[in-house]
Amino acid sequence: MEVNAGEGSSQGLNAKTGQPGSKGKGTELDEWIERLLDSKPLLERDVERLCKMAKVIFAEEPNIVEVKTPVTVCGDIHGQYKDLLRIFQMGGSVPETNYLFLGDYVDRGKNSVATISLLVALKVRHKHRITMLRGNHESRQISRNFGFYNECMKRYKNANVWTHFTQLFDFFPISALIDGSIFCLHGGLSPSISTLDEVRNIKRDMEVPLCGPFHELLWTDPGNNLGWGKNLERGENALAFGADITEKFTTDNGLSLIARAHQVKMEGYEFTHQDKLVTVFSAPNYCKVRNKAAFIKFAGDYRSVKQFTAVGALEEVEIDLTSQFKCDDLIMQLSSIVI
Ligand SMILES: [Mn+2]
């Protein structure tokens, strides 16, 4: 993958012995990125330095990051590192392609450390090319129990790397707004939030709370019933919102669409709520569900969906279904890779 923006070169420099400050930030980051792409983990001290650099960048971002098209939107990755590389291969490399990730980088999959390390390194290297939102798994409470913590302990023999990353997660932005009209976040709406300004006013530099609006934006799902109701699939206190809630929020805030992640979908994506809401999920064969994964490119009024199956599929076929899908006056191009 081409990740070098052109300034500096890593040739002749030793990533292991180079001292901080002895070379340009870009060169050091390029070395880390190359190392990660070579499937080698970063050293613990490099993770610490990377997270310090990243904290400054994330802390400067507002709760709603303004993003312009063209941008490629990805849902949950969940430690499926090879599938993340597949996304870059199919969707375009960084920094040539702009990416917006909707959270849940860690847990469940086997390679949370490599996944979050690479994405954060790319973020620091090309901060205007990648937007990373916070998912409900970017929290101490969740990632302690669903894989990331145990993987850090296994790879580094201590919890320091987990601590560095989970401290960094507190600074991840909550949401993004594409071209002023597509509101993007990990979970969904909140019964306590009716305007984008209310999202802008949330205090976010903390562990994801156990309840309240911040929690809900990262945890809720769209439901089939109208209004607000229980979301029993996720537990007693979880909430789901109906198409009427989506309609009111999008109308009141001048939005054309809500793009969110958080739920596995067999096709990798699903439009619902009168096409005012799309779920995108980018981890194929998630927990062996045999789902396809997808990501969506927005470019002005043009939208295209790419689907893919798990790495290691015996056979891949690309099917161009251009013009079979129409969404209002927008043409959706669907290229599918199936076994
Ligand atoms: Mn989630």
| Tens-place pLDDT, residues 212-226 | 999 999 999 999 999
Long-range Cβ contacts of 116-120 (<8 Å, 24+ apart): 116/148, 116/165, 117/32, 117/36, 117/41, 117/42, 117/47, 117/50, 118/33, 118/36, 118/37, 118/81, 118/84, 119/77, 119/84, 120/50, 120/51, 120/54, 120/165, 120/168
Tell me the percentage of the chain whose pLDDT exceeds 70: 84
Using the predicted structure, report yes or no on whether residue 126 has a pLDDT greater than 90.
yes
Supply the mean pLDDT for the chain.
Answer: 87
Helix H or strand E encompassing 95: none
**pLDDT for residue 321 is more than 70:** no
CA of 324 relative to ligand 1 center, distance in Å: 30
> What is the domain extent for residue 241?
44-284+292-297
Q: Identify any residues that bridge with 296 across adjacent strands, giving them in sequence order.
A: 73, 305
Which of 132-146, 253-267, 325-339 shows the lowest per-residue confidence on average (mean pLDDT)? Answer: 325-339
Q: Count how many domains the chain has.
A: 1
The alpha carbon of 134 and the centre of ligand 1 are apart by a number of angstroms equal to 9
- Ligand 1 centroid – CA 326 distance (Å): 28
What per-residue confidence (pLDDT) applies to 111? 96
Q: Is 126 part of the annotated catalytic residue set?
A: no
Per annotation, catalytic residue among 78, 126, 137, 164: 137
Q: What is the pLDDT of residue 119?
A: 98
Contact 325, 319 (CB under 8 A): no
- 330, part of any domain: no
Could you tell me if residue 339 is inside a domain? Answer: no
| Residue 149: both structure tokens together | 């913590």
CATH of the domain at 159: 3.60.21.10
Stretch 94-106: mean pLDDT, rounded? 97
- The answer to whether residue 316 is domain-embedded is no
Residue 10 lies in a domain: no
pLDDT of residue 23: 53
Per-residue pLDDT at 116 exceeds 50:
yes
Residue 147 resides in a domain: yes
- Preceding amide of 284 cis, omega within 30: no
How confident is residue 313, by pLDDT bands cut at 50, 70 and 90?
A: low
Residue 220 belongs to some domain of the structure: yes
Say whether pLDDT at 150 is over 80: yes
Tokens of 109: 């999959």
Residue 329 in domain: no
* Separation between Cα atoms, residue 135 and residue 229, nearest integer Å: 22
35 pLDDT higher than 50? yes
